[in-house]
Amino acid sequence: MADRAQPIGAGPGIGAAAIVAALILGSLAAVALRAEPGTGLGPADWQAVRFTLMQAALSAAISVALAVPVARALARRRFAGRSALITLLGAPFILPVIVAVLGLLTVFGRAGWVSQALGAAGLEPLRIYGLHGVVLAHVFFNLPLATRLILQGWQEIPAERFRLAAHLGADAGAIWRLLEAPMLARSVPAALAVVFAICLTSFAVALTLGGGPRATTVELAIYQAFRFDFDLGRAALLACIQIALTVLAAGLALRAAPGGGFGAGLDRPLRRWDAQSGLLRAQDGAAITLAALFLLLPLAAIAVNGLAGVTSLPASVFRAAGTSIVIAAASTATLLVLAVPMAASIAMARRTGWIELAGLLGLAVSPLVIGTGLFIVVYPFADPFALALPVTALVNAISALPFALRILVPRARAVLGDFGRLGLSLNMGGLPFRRLVLLPRMRPQIGFAAGLGAALSMGDLGVIALFADPEVATLPLQIYRLMGAYRMEAAAGAALLLLALSMLAFWIFDRGGRWHAEV
């Protein structure tokens, strides 16, 4: 349907995209202009670059290597709780990093469950701080993501291929060579690149489990240049390096994007006839059980430890929780004001346009870099520390924008495709079409996007760490401070509260979107 008219104008989307592009590119420009290359990179900076690349590469390799058997098991087995487990694999996306870190400390820390078991057997306790801990936390977050990405590869093999393979008498090994290995050859590099890119910009994990000269990432170095030395020039220089690393990772991810290859099927329900031997069943069962334990144990630890601390939380935690709720609400509102018009405009365009690129910019630039840029821009005119909360809400909204667009654009495209002509022939005009058709029909997706945005903002420990003075804290930052003061019981209680608030925020919006939705 080439040259077809559309019922709504692209104006609001163009405006929103222009604001986003100006914000991100403006802070990039500020960083680039402020950077002081005079002194160059010191040995500590090079060490940070090396550590950043190494931990990201290790995290990606381990996450994906473990994800393949788990995805394979999920692809060829049907069992009670399977779909719940696959849903659970999506949960780490909205799980606040600081909560997961506390859970991992409880299980894998020096005084944790595993160390206690080792001690009982007369062995040394685990050491979690440093490279081990950073990689462990990254695997915790990215094993589920990698599993879902690779499982998707399995699901894209049409059921007809498996039927034909079974008809030809292919066993598990033959199916591996015939169908699964070629699929993995495409989907594994893509998964590796995505996890690598995510770990490159991870800040909160390095802040809590890394540190010290041997375990500092570039993002952490930016933060330290800010907070400890207040050396804006060096922070900006490090931010430039971070941008270069992110561009490198984005290039890898784009190059590794998987293409189709198995052709289309008729969407028959998938049945597998292979891999019925006891050994293979046991192997798949073990992969699924271990993965589920690895994901669930730290969450259980939060619940167990948090319940003890949640009754005696200091007042500062509740103040911080209030702040977090306000920020999450403001960030979600900002997100929707930007994302919904942009999604409509992208859906109307026939080719990839600059609006779509503006929406992806948030992925290419880490929140800490945007924060650094905004700080540099604001600093000559106003006290950046006084603006900590609005800036946090804004940066949270911008970093959630790419995900929101992924959710909204396909639906907007479908609504315009199904009802665009009818709206035009009824002469509805832009506003009535938005009010009566587009927004009501997109409501479930808008709710889902808002839920993700709210949960991400609620759990974010990034820009706020740069901007906050001691009087101000969001709940994640307050937990970090409690950990720093070795008040682990209060930290665990606050973490349980944060977990509940994040899940609640997601649930309210997602549920609100689907409530009485007629789709």
Partner 1 sequence: MLRFEKAVILNGDFTVRANLALERGARVAVIGPSGAGKTTLLEAIAGFRPLEAGRLVWDGRDITADPPGARPVAMLFQDGNLFPHLTLAQNAGLGLRPDLRLSAEQKERVKAALARVGLEGLEDRRPGALSGGQQSRAALARVLLQDRPLLLLDEPFAALGPALKAEMLDLVADLAAETGATLLMISHDPDDARRIADQAVLVAEGVAHPPRPTTDLLDNPPPVLRAYLGEG
Residues making contact with partner 1 (CB under 8 A): 2-5, 418-419, 421-429, 431-433, 435-437, 440-441, 517-519
The helix or strand, by DSSP H or E, that contains position 360, with its residue range, turns out to be helix 354-364
What are the distances in angstroms from CA 126 to CA 111, 114, 129, 137, 460? 8, 8, 9, 14, 28
Q: How many residues does the chain have?
A: 519
Q: Which is nearer to partner 1, 256 or 517 (CB)?
A: 517
**Shorter beta-carbon distance to partner 1: residue 138 or 411:** 411
- CB neighbour list of residue 291: distance below 8 Å, 6 or more residues apart: 66, 70, 143, 147
Q: Which is nearer to partner 1, 415 or 495 (CB)?
A: 415
And the tokens for 366?
Answer: 């880490």
In sequence order, which residues have a C-beta less than 8 Å from that of residue 240 and are 6 or more positions away? Answer: 31, 32, 35
Tokens representing residue 496 in the block:
């349980």
Closest separation between CB of residue 412 and partner 1, Å? 15
In the bound state with partner 1, the residue whose beta carbon lies nearer, of 41 and 439, is 439
Q: Specify burial of residue 423 (Cβ count, 10 A radius: 0-12, 13-18, 19+).
A: buried
Give the nearest distance from C-beta 418 to partner 1 in angstroms. Answer: 5
**What's the closest the beta carbon of residue 157 comes to partner 1, in angstroms?**
31
DSSP 459: H
Q: What is the nearest approach in angstroms of partner 1 to the Cβ of residue 15?
A: 23
From the CB of 518, what's the least distance to partner 1, in Å? Answer: 4
CB of 144 to partner 1, least distance (A): 34
Min. distance of Cβ 442 from partner 1 in angstroms? 10
Q: How far apart are CA 433 and CA 412, in angstroms?
A: 12
What does the longest C-alpha to C-alpha distance in the chain come to? 79
The burial class, CB within 10 Å (0-12 / 13-18 / 19+), for 455 is buried
Planar angle of CA 119, 124, 126, nearest 5 degrees? 95
Q: CB of 425: closest distance to partner 1 in angstroms?
A: 5
Q: Which is nearer to partner 1, 130 or 430 (CB)?
A: 430
Identify which of residues 221 and 437 has a Cβ nearer to partner 1 in the complex: 437
CA distance linking residue 363 with residue 198, whole number of Å: 9
Choice between 133 and 447, CB closer to partner 1: 447
130: left (phi over 0), alpha (psi -120 to 50) or beta: left
Cβ-based nearer residue to partner 1, 126 or 436 = 436
